[in-house]
Chains A and B, each alone.
Chain A
Amino acid sequence: MSLTPNALNYSSDNDPAIKEFNTTKLLKNARKQAEERNYKDFFICDVDSHHYETEALPEILQYMDDPVMRHLGLSAGNVGRASLIPQAIGSQDMAGRVTRYAGRNKEKVPESPHRDITLTRRWMDAMGVDVACLFPTPMLLLATHPQPEVEVNMARAYNRWLCERILEEDKRICSMVYLPMNEPHEAEKMIDEFAERKGVVGFLSTGYLKRPVHDNANMRIFAKLEEHGKPLGFHAAYHWADSSLAQLNKFISVHALGFSFCNMIHMTNWVLNGMPERFPKLKTLWIESGLAWVPFLMQRLDNEYMMRTSDAPLLKKKPSDYMREMFYSSQPMELVDNREALEVTFKMMNAESQLLYSSDYPHWDMDLPSTIYDLPFLKEQAKRDILGGNALKLFNIEPTMSDWKLEARKKG
């Protein structure tokens, strides 16, 4: 073995994988899968996908009410940006190994529609996704910003930009828009402002919040969501500075645990404080924690609940019974060598009606629709429900099909 110093740059901009980057080309094998599996015959909705909103930050800031904060964001290049949206430590792209991170900036798009629409449509069409629920990326950590007023202003500006520039323009893109949960009265206003906008299929609570989800200050938020009939999504995030994760020394560790841990904390509070009993019409979607945490938490909570029912007096049934009525996004599905465990997980969570396919594209641990479609223990109808039917019901949307599928259907 010869060990050499790190003299070479193995992910230079000149590498063909980065230099000639194009989403459609990168995902050509996904398109083959879509054609081979006849995705043209049914509707696919991706309930958790992303864009990089910081690339459009100057546009987004035009929608910000506070002129001083807007100036701050626009004034100082990256320094100014960093003061509005917390920057996460960690190499999502594995030091360039996942080429779409570096390549994306170089991808050519036509002048219109909006760059984010073109890039989103490219991966959707490659994977066979008809409708995508689009979320931001760096803003998933916005709730950790030390200034709550920054979170509120950024959230409102982003939501306005998203509705006007993206959702108005493309009926295949929808979103659960950002709720600044750290400022409940502002979150309530946000629901009133955006609940009836085109493409808004729900609202999003994300990451590490300053107050627990069951805090009394949040009750009016949940009541308002119930009134509007909009689901609440909990999009997990990792936060290395969180004291429970601070001893983990590698990105893989903090990512593997942090995403599940985040939703386990919120779910435990949500269930044991009887939120499903207090807001029985409010539907919740638990996003991007994988699936393995669900049976783990069901078993832990049920076991302790049977001994300590007096600790959770609002509950009328076991914690797992409530969890089985909630909705879950599928990615990142734990697929390595565990078919049996996966099958049990699907059964325990009533996946056929409660699970919704998600890709998380373009993030590094994205899942294709084939991760669901190729599961041997699911019948065709269950596959179609998880890939699209369950999302139609939860979001109450029309099954808008992509052009290429409609064309392919015509050809037979």
Chain B
Amino acid sequence: MPEKLLCASSDISETTAKICELEGVEIGVIRHKGTVVAYRNVCPHQGGPVCEGLKMPKVCVEFDEERRPLKQSFDTDEMHFVCPWHGWEFKIETGEALGDPKIRLNRYKVIERDENIYVEV
């Protein structure tokens, strides 16, 4: 599959996805847990710019021994892209939708080489 140059390595960060355009298609690219991930910036719900929303951790509930909720917390090990249109959440690591893992973001294979980021298209 042909590789296309997306951006320079120095353009991307761990905090916010960088939105690059490749042949009319927007791709969100972000450094995450030591690798680089890239997704098409179109939400499988109604087409929102999914990589441009907030980045938020999974919400968890802690129980006591009788399974009564004690408190809620954020699990920062699992960060999500939150689509800004309606709030669907997707695991940044895999692109899976939280509500239904069969629904996924469109993922690109990323190659980081010579200080540049390439994707296979």
CA of A94 to CA of B87, assembled, Å: 7
A368, B47: Cβ atoms under 8 Å? yes
Is B77 at the interface (CB under 8 A from chain A)? yes
Partner of B86, one of A30, A33, A365: A365
Given contacts A10-B57, A364-B87, A365-B86, A2 and B76 within 8 Å (CB-CB): yes
CA of A336 to CA of B45, assembled, Å: 9
A98, B73: Cβ atoms under 8 Å? no
B60, A3: Cβ atoms under 8 Å? yes
What residue of chain B has the Cβ atom nearest to residue A16's Cβ?
Answer: B16
Interface footprint category on A: 20 to 34
A4, B74: Cβ atoms under 8 Å? yes
A15, B54: Cβ atoms under 8 Å? yes
A96, B77: Cβ atoms under 8 Å? no
Is B6 at the interface (CB under 8 A from chain A)? no
A98, B47: Cβ atoms under 8 Å? no
Is B62 at the interface (CB under 8 A from chain A)? yes
Is B10 at the interface (CB under 8 A from chain A)? no
CA of A28 to CA of B16, assembled, Å: 19
A97, B82: Cβ atoms under 8 Å? yes
Partner of A4, one of B48, B54, B76, B87: B76
B74, A29: Cβ atoms under 8 Å? no
> Residue-by-residue, is B34-56 near A (CB-CB < 8 Å gives 1, otherwise 0)?
00000001100011110011111
A1, B54: Cβ atoms under 8 Å? no
A4, B73: Cβ atoms under 8 Å? yes
Is A269 at the interface (CB under 8 A from chain B)? no
What residue of chain B has the Cβ atom nearest to residue A98's Cβ?
Answer: B87
Chain A contacts of B85 at CB under 8 A? 26, 98, 366
Partner of B84, one of A1, A4, A98: A98
A29, B49: Cβ atoms under 8 Å? yes
A6, B49: Cβ atoms under 8 Å? no
Q: Of A32, A98, A364, A367, which is in contact with the most chain B CB atoms at under 10 Å from its CB? A: A98
Chain B contacts of A10 at CB under 8 A? 54-57, 74
CA of A51 to CA of B51, assembled, Å: 26
Is B120 at the interface (CB under 8 A from chain A)? no
Given contacts A97-B53, A99-B84, A366-B86, A3 and B73 within 8 Å (CB-CB): yes
B16, A30: Cβ atoms under 8 Å? no
Is B75 at the interface (CB under 8 A from chain A)? yes
| Chain A, interface SS category | loop
B46, A367: Cβ atoms under 8 Å? yes
Chain B contacts of A364 at CB under 8 A? 86-87
Q: How far is the CB of A2 from chain B (nearest CB, A)?
A: 6
Chain A contacts of B41 at CB under 8 A? 29
Given contacts A2-B75, A3-B73, A17-B53, A33 and B84 within 8 Å (CB-CB): no
A11, B46: Cβ atoms under 8 Å? no
What residue of chain A has the Cβ atom nearest to residue B41's Cβ?
Answer: A29
Partner of A100, one of B60, B74, B84: B84
Is A345 at the interface (CB under 8 A from chain B)? no
CA of A366 to CA of B87, assembled, Å: 11
Given contacts A17-B84, A370-B46, A1 and B60 within 8 Å (CB-CB): yes
- Residues B91-117 near A (CB distance < 8 A): 100
- Residues A1-37 near B (CB distance < 8 A): 1-6, 8, 10-11, 15-17, 26, 28-30, 32-33
Is A371 at the interface (CB under 8 A from chain B)? yes
A17, B52: Cβ atoms under 8 Å? yes
CA of A311 to CA of B35, assembled, Å: 68
Given contacts A17-B84, A28-B49, A365-B86, A97 and B73 within 8 Å (CB-CB): no
A3, B84: Cβ atoms under 8 Å? no
Q: How far is the CB of B86 from chain A (nearest CB, A)?
A: 6
What residue of chain B has the Cβ atom nearest to residue A365's Cβ?
Answer: B86
Chain B contacts of A8 at CB under 8 A? 74
Given contacts A11-B54, A33-B47, A3 and B62 within 8 Å (CB-CB): yes
What residue of chain A has the Cβ atom nearest to residue B79's Cβ?
Answer: A10
Q: How far is the CB of A199 from chain B (nearest CB, A)?
A: 28
Chain B contacts of A11 at CB under 8 A? 54, 56
Q: How far is the CB of A134 from chain B (nearest CB, A)?
A: 20
- Residues B9-68 near A (CB distance < 8 A): 16, 41-42, 46-49, 52-57, 60, 62
Q: List 7 A-B contacts (CB under 8 A).
A: A1-B60, A1-B78, A3-B60, A4-B76, A10-B55, A16-B52, A366-B86
Contacts beyond the supplied A29-B42, A371-B46: 17 A-B pairs with Cβ under 8 Å? A1-B77, A1-B78, A2-B75, A3-B73, A5-B73, A6-B74, A10-B55, A10-B56, A15-B16, A15-B54, A16-B16, A94-B87, A97-B87, A99-B53, A100-B84, A336-B100, A368-B46
* 3 nearest A-B pairs in the assembled complex, by CB-CB distance: A3-B73, A99-B84, A97-B87
